[in-house]
Each structure stands twice: as structure tokens, then as C-alpha cells.
Amino acid sequence: MKLRHLWILAVLICIIHEIIDLKFTTISNINDVGQVVIHVTMIFAALLTFFLFGLFFTLIFSFIPFKRRSYKEKFKWLLPIMICFIGIVMCGFSGYRVYLKEKKGIKLSPVHLIE
């Protein structure tokens, strides 16, 4: 795969996660500015989580020697791959939360929606 395709895949997985996460967290009152701000903050926090965890694992795995490639080459290839991996794991967790909510009837909600 080319590097561009890897980045497109990473962005698509992040979008899929956000769609699944939107299914789980609903805004009960769209006119309440506080709930909208919290929801937008959660979206940016999820994207930041993807990037930081991907960056952390990329820094670790880039030190592994592989076919005489430089650290810079391995870093450029591994960053979108790690973001994809983290995205798939996060999609699994979010999908499981939606499954518990829809099929099992267990009402899970973030702390700010419990009030």
C-alpha cells in the first residue's frame, strides 16, 4: 500500500469510530450549549487519543530493525498503520458499548449525561 492509502484508511477508521460513538452518546437537548460543547470536546478528545496512542506505539516500534530502513522511513510508514490499529480497537470498544445498550438493555452513559 502507498502511504496516501494508509492515511486515507486511518481517516476512514476514525470517521467510523465517530459514527459509532455518536450512536452511543446522544444530545438530549440541542439548545443546551453545555451539552453541545461537551459532545464536540469528546469528538476532539477521541481524535487526539487516536493520534497520541498511535504516536506512542510508532515511536516504540520504529526502533525495531527492519530491512535496513532508517528510523524516519519506518516512522512515516508505521504512524498511519498504528492509528488504524488503535482505531480498530476503539471501534470494537464503542461497538460493544452500543451492543450492550441496544441488545442487552444495559444503560451505559458518560458521566455528564447521568445528571
For the chain, what are the domain ranges? 34-114
The helix (run of H) or strand (run of E) holding residue 53 is helix 33-61
Q: Between helices 3-24 and 71-99, what is the axis angle to 10°?
A: 20
Sign of the Cα torsion 72, 77, 82, 83 reads positive
Q: Mean pLDDT over residues 76-104, rounded?
A: 87
pLDDT over threshold 70, residue 110: no
Least confident of 26-30, 70-74, 84-88: 26-30
Residue 72 has pLDDT above 90, yes or no: no
Instruction: Give the percent of the chain with pLDDT over 70.
Output: 86
pLDDT band with cut points at 50, 70 and 90 for residue 86: very high
Please state the rounded mean pLDDT for residues 94-99. 82
Which pLDDT belongs to residue 33? 78
Does the pTM surpass 0.85? The reply is no
